[in-house]
Structure 1
């Protein structure tokens, strides 16, 4: 095994063509995709939408990661959310018998790769510019929205890992 493959993404060095100040965002997003691919191996499809102890399901976390990256990057680009984005948000966590774990993991991988590619197009001199969040237009910054996409996605990976542990060992409590 390549030594680099055993290191976390941030330890492997800079992501090509991503501005230096956005390296932590790229690293965190790439780590999300790698962690999900690794930690969901062997999870049975019938456990995808289980909500143990009222917690959010694995399926919700996977959908939400895609959605939050999409929404935060839209706000960072000074865009309002589209009807499609609002529809996606409304459906996060709703069981979809046709969606498989593999498809959801692939959707996260595609969205994180897309986001890293978007980072490559950003001019660092604009990172402190004001941007607005949501319908209430809460003021924030360009870098704040990008960072939030990454850290919020990481937070949901952690929650997903706990959910997986619980659904795999429901008698542990």
Structure 2
């Protein structure tokens, strides 16, 4: 792993409101860890499961999708057709062009989009009520942002374990 301190210990981000810095730090940390972990990971292992748990491909798709969906809700919007299709496709090989690189690149782009949204956040809106999902469950902008950070890091941990086990099982 990296010899640099974790992102949150590198100081404040100059273009980020202080109240959303922890979310930005978590997303940046996740990006660093995923890019390092998945570097040179084999495409043929992307959809393998360990002990019936989710595959690396699922985790990469889900990480991207969850950030996208939660940040959509934070904007006060509901999911569009494309987002619902992407949600239904998570964990399924629907396109032979899906590679480790393409999934990591999609995740990186989603983190960039999220950071842009966070940097433009009006901190006076953080407690604004938001509805989540078809059930229109109650949340707030800050609740959605914080959940995106913690959910992302949870899946990064699961991805790390899955990848390490797969690499150990398939050593050549």
TM range (shorter): over 0.9
Shift in Å, 1:42:
2.9
Q: Which residue of 1 aligns with 2:60?
A: 62
Q: Which residue of 1 aligns with 2:141?
A: 142
Q: Which residue of 1 aligns with 2:14?
A: 16
Shift in Å, 1:5:
6.7
SS at match of 2:166: helix
Residue range with higher mean Cα deviation, 24-33 or 40-49: 40-49
Shift in Å, 1:151:
1.1
Tell me how large the CA RMSD over aligned residues is.
1.5
Q: 1:51 aligns with which of 49, 52, 75?
A: 49
SS at match of 1:94: coil
Distance 2:162 2:153 in 1: 14
Write out aligned runs for 1:20-169 (5 A): 20-95=18-93, 96-169=95-168
Distance 1:52 1:25 in 2: 30
Shift in Å, 1:169:
2.2
Distance 2:106 2:39 in 1: 16
Distance 2:96 2:34 in 1: 20
SS at match of 2:41: coil
Structure 1 residue ranges (4+ consecutive) displaced by more than 2 angstroms after TM superposition: none
Q: Which runs of 5+ in 1 are unaligned?
A: none
Q: Which runs of 5+ in 2 are unaligned?
A: none
Distance 1:161 1:97 in 2: 24
Residue range with higher mean Cα deviation, 78-87 or 10-19: 10-19
Distance 1:170 1:97 in 2: 24
Distance 2:42 2:3 in 1: 26
SS at match of 2:51: helix
Question: How many equivalent pairs are there?
Answer: 168
Distance 2:7 2:106 in 1: 19
Normalising by the residue count of structure 1, what TM-score does the alignment of the two structures yield?
A: 0.93
SS at match of 1:109: helix
